[in-house]
Copies of this chain bind each other. A is one copy, B any other.
Amino acid sequence: MPTPHYGQPRYRAIAQELSERIESGVIPPGALLPTESALTAEFQASRGTIRQALSALRENGLTTTEHGRGTYANPHPYEPAPTENLIREVRQREVVADIELATLFSIEVGSTLVLHESVTRSQSGVEAVSRTYRLAEGDQ
């Protein structure tokens, strides 16, 4: 069978259907979406097309996908940073890498990382805490 895509391509229609389910609450925040193979069965599309649709959702910040686990509906569709009346406090310190960070940086657990921490406050209290980890100088 040919593969025409008049107007809207298939993957986008699927992405739209899925995003409607998320925003309507059919798929609640934090919940797993159906697996890719389940979606291929439901939409009668190839896995590649399904993955293209899921990729679109991810780029729009609606979902998060984890290898071997699945795709989750995000608790928060977005988060524009309010840039008014904010106070930022920045400090710097050294920390030891836990398993998660060590894996990301491909270093050993217990290695030192440099941490820049930024605390953003508004009148109502702490708005956000941002932490950036980097390898210590000379370790790279």
Contacts and interface: CB of A to CB of B under 8 A. Distances in A.
Given A105-B125, A114-B76, A131 B134 contact: no
A86 interface: no
A129 B126 contact: no
Interface string A21-48: 0000000001000000000000000000
Given A93-B64, A94-B30, A136-B75, A129 B105 contact: yes
Contact of A74 (B66, B92, B104, B140): B92
A137 B106 contact: no
Interface string A115-139: 0100100001111111111101100
8 contacts: A59-B59, A61-B90, A64-B92, A66-B91, A75-B114, A76-B114, A104-B119, A131-B133
